[in-house]
């Protein structure tokens, strides 16, 4: 198994720690101060080697249909995927999410799907289990320039949307994570975020066959740290678009305001398509470190899914509409 060093500090983590520091100093009061803090003197990017390990030595869990993705990249281990997570409702410490999320109650659960639809529907866990579950091996590229290959289980979001019958006026889909201020420590630890976690897709992105509602991985039901019982997976976009533990989905006419756009609009856009040519203001997006590997890999346009999705953005300036 690959080792993930607890001392590993990512850019996003440094950024947040700095904001926590500023906040404790009484410097961050409102949104304007917050923006000023991220525009002035950003902390330097540290290029760390990342987890060391020989991927070939990682035993691949036999419950995936293949041990590589369609590009031949080896799958990350179950252990990597479930012990190195971004889930700020629990903590910004990627190593600690699994411990803090352990035993988080995910049953009963409901996902309310409504807004501009003919047939608003509340999906229970049993309703979710009625969808035909497929395995999808996808690369996941975090905006912090690390990545994994994950054998998700789930169903296309388009199948869920078909059941609620979108109205013609629906232009965007807005997703919301559970806002459990008692059960999840992140809300009180990081009160400066505009909770709950909100994400969004354009209607055609939401209907694309690659866009998945995931309920499992490696043939097992999702664990809380990966967004149980159901989370979005949009493999051609940065990982933050793949919102976890969804309780609400609304079809709307206006582009929704997302948590990350609110927090730092100059750093995180609505589209957030993986694009090696558009650097993050504080670090390069040209390369990435695949968890479990030595060295860095070139980041691929649309995370390697350009043939499937580039047509969605024809005519758009991807260097501006990030
Ligand atoms: N609700 C919620 N969803 C979230 C996040 C989060 O903090 N809260 N983090 C995002 C980020 S930045 C990434 S990279 C992925 C990580 O998914 P994983 O932990 O299952 O690999 O989840 C995304 N979804
Ligand atoms: Mo991420």
Query: What pLDDT is recorded for position 157?
Result: 99
Among candidate residues 280, 254, 276, 273, the one with its CA nearest the CA of residue 314: 273
Query: What pLDDT is recorded for position 125?
Result: 98
Q: Write the DSSP symbol of residue 49.
A: -
CB 117 within 8 A of CB 259: no
Beta strands 220-221 and 212-217 are: antiparallel
Report the first-to-last Cα separation within the chain, whole angstroms: 35
157-189 pLDDT, tens digit each: 999 999 999 999 999 999 999 999 999 999 999
Domain-located, residue 321: no
User: What is the rounded CA–CA span in Å between residue 91 and residue 186?
Assistant: 5
Query: What pLDDT is recorded for position 320?
Result: 87
Domain-located, residue 319: no
pLDDT mean over 16-32: 38
Domain-located, residue 322: no
Domain-located, residue 1: no
Pocket of ligand 1 (CB under 6 A): 85-89, 140, 142, 177, 197, 226-227, 239-240, 242-245
212-257 pLDDT, tens digit each: 999 999 999 999 999 999 999 999 999 999 999 999 999 999 999 9
Domain hosting residue 234, numbered range: 6-313
Question: Please, which pLDDT band fits residue 321 given cuts at 50, 70 and 90?
Answer: confident
- For residue 225, the ligand 1 atom closest to its alpha carbon is 19
Question: Please, which pLDDT band fits residue 44 given cuts at 50, 70 and 90?
Answer: very low
CB 155 within 8 A of CB 132: yes
Domain-located, residue 167: yes
User: What is the rounded CA–CA span in Å between residue 184 and residue 236?
Assistant: 29
Which is more confidently placed, 36 or 299?
299
Q: pTM here? A: 0.84
Domain-located, residue 318: no
- For residue 244, the ligand 1 atom closest to its alpha carbon is 3
User: What is the rounded CA–CA span in Å between residue 71 and residue 290?
Assistant: 14
Query: What pLDDT is recorded for position 62?
Result: 55
Q: What is the CATH number of the domain that holds 132?
A: 3.90.420.10
- Domains held by the chain: number: 1
Tokens 């919301």 appear where? 176
CA distances 129 to 87, 133, 208, 213, 281, Å, are 24, 8, 21, 12, 42
CA-closest residue to ligand 1 atom 24: 243
């Amino acid at each position: 198994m690959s080792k993930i060093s607890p001392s590993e500090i990512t850019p996003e983590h440094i950024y947040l720690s700095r904001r926590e520091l500023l906040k404790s100093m009484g410097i961050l009061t409102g949104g304007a101060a917050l923006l000023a803090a991220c525009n002035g003197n950003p902390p330097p990017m540290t290029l760390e080697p990342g987890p060391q390990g020989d991927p070939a030595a990682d035993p691949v869990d036999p419950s995936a249909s293949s041990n590589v993705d369609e590009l031949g990249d080896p799958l990350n281990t179950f252990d990597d995927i479930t012990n190195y997570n971004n889930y700020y409702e629990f903590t910004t410490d990627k190593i600690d999410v699994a411990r803090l999320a352990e035993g988080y109650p995910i049953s009963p659960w409901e996902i309310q799907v409504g807004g501009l639809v003919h047939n608003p529907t509340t999906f229970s866990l049993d309703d979710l289990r009625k969808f035909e579950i497929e395995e999808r091996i996808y690369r996941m590229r975090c905006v912090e320039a690390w990545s994994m290959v994950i054998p998700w289980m789930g169903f296309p979001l388009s199948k869920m949307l078909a059941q609620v019958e979108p109205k013609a006026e629906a232009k965007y889909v807005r997703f919301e994570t559970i806002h459990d201020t008692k059960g999840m420590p992140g809300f009180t630890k990081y009160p400066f975020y505009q909770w709950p976690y909100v994400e969004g897709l354009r209607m055609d992105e939401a209907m694309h066959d690659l866009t998945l509602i995931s309920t499992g991985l490696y043939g097992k039901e999702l664990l809380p740290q990966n967004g149980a019982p159901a989370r979005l997976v949009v493999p051609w976009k940065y990982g933050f678009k793949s919102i976890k533990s969804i309780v609400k989905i609304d079809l709307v006419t206006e582009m929704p305001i997302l948590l990350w756009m609110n927090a730092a609009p100059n750093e995180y856009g609505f589209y957030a398509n993986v694009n090696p040519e558009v650097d993050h203001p504080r670090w390069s997006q040209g390369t990435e470190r695949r968890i479990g590997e030595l060295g860095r890999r070139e980041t691929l346009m649309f995370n390697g899914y350009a043939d499937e999705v580039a047509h969605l953005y024809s005519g758009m300036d991807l260097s501006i509409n990030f």
